[in-house]
Structure 1
Amino acid sequence: MLLKSKDFPVLPNVFNDFFRDWSTSNFSDTNTTLPAVNIKESENDFIVDVAVPGMEKEDFKIDLDNDILTISSEKTSNNESSNDNYTRKEYSYLSFKRSFTLPKGVVDSDKINAIYKNGELKITIPKLEEAKPKPVKVIEVM
């Protein structure tokens, strides 16, 4: 952003941008932004939270193929307004694709569900019964 101070533009410090830690940025190799993702594991399931405000539940495609969970979205909007002798058009295009490898033999793929609410996509991935931790069994000595 350029700011004006006493009729001279003030530029951001280019060196700060150049030497910053780019590994923490939220950009893909194609220079598109990726939504932030949190993954939490409990005894019974994995929860994947994806921050995607401004979307609708119909905008998402979620598939599981050979233990790879893929979350993708593509949204295009075209807003047009007319005023006097000119027309202004604004196009917006948002697309992303994130894939996660699920542990083999641990998740119950038939019971995966997703809910989109308040800008957050929450995917619940239940564990198979045999993959859940077993309580400690006390063996009595005879």
Structure 2
Amino acid sequence: MDKLAEFRHGLEETWHSLGEGWRQLRDRASEALTRFTPVNRSRSSPEDTSSPPALAANWGLLAGDLYEDGEQIVVRLEVPGMVKEDLELEVREDVLLIRGEKRVEQERGNGRYRVRQCTFGSFRRSFQLPAPVIAEKARAKCSNGVLRIELPKEARARGRRIEVRSG
């Protein structure tokens, strides 16, 4: 009976560990989970395969980081295969909006896809900004599939050191 109890205990611990792992993955990825809406463009010829096949994924992950220091807020977003012309940025009050379009990249030839996990189409991501920023002085750069946005904080959001004097 002791062996059965040990087995049950080990199974319960394994099940709990798996459940906790899935919860952590869900929590971490929930903001990165992004809906891609297919862009409807009329085809110029029957050979034009620029639009994604019906079985292409409509949801994908656009992982991002938000970093804050005393002077600025930095947002990094992974946007593989995209260039600056594919992206549009806007600050509305305390939210950074990122819109874009990931275009279809298909292999040409006689083969056919067996697995289709890449997402294509237009998307929208938003980041809640932890402090007021000066949107007019923001800078953005897209390089090697990473979009980096630097948003200088407003002076009132930076804080101010107060010297304590005696007497």
Say which of 111, 114, 122 aligns to 1:95: 122
Relative to the length of structure 2, the TM-score reads: 0.57
- The two structures, once aligned, show a CA RMSD in angstroms of 3.3
State the 1:113 CA deviation: 1.4
- Asked if 2 retains the 8 angstrom alpha-carbon contact of 1:69 and 1:100, the reply is yes
- Asked if 2 retains the 8 angstrom alpha-carbon contact of 1:107 and 1:125, the reply is yes
Structure 2 portions without partners, runs of 5+:
1-18, 37-57, 113-118
Say which of 21, 39, 43 aligns to 2:66: 39
Q: 1:66 and 2:93 equivalent?
A: yes
Task: Select the structure that is richer in helix.
Answer: 2
Relative to the length of structure 1, the TM-score reads: 0.66
The percent identity for this pair of structures is 32
CA distance in 2, matches of 1:45, 1:108: 9
SS of 1:77 mapped into structure 2? coil
2:160 match: 134
CA distance in 1, matches of 2:143, 2:104: 21
Whose relative contact order is higher, 1 or 2, with alpha carbons under 8 Å and at least 6 apart?
2
State the 1:29 CA deviation: 6.6
Q: CA separation of 1:76/1:54 partners in 2, compared to 1, >3 Å: closer, same or farther?
A: closer
State the 1:66 CA deviation: 3.3
CA distance in 2, matches of 1:27, 1:128: 30
State the 1:71 CA deviation: 0.5
Task: Select the structure that is richer in strand.
Answer: 1
- Asked if 2 retains the 8 angstrom alpha-carbon contact of 1:32 and 1:96, the reply is no
CA distance in 2, matches of 1:24, 1:101: 15
CA distance in 2, matches of 1:28, 1:115: 21
> How many matched pairs?
121
State the 1:34 CA deviation: 2.9
Deviations 1:25-52 (A, max 9, x none): 4534775113111111100011001111
Which residue type is aligned with residue 139 of structure 1?
R
Query: Deviating runs (4+, > 6 A) in structure 1?
Result: none
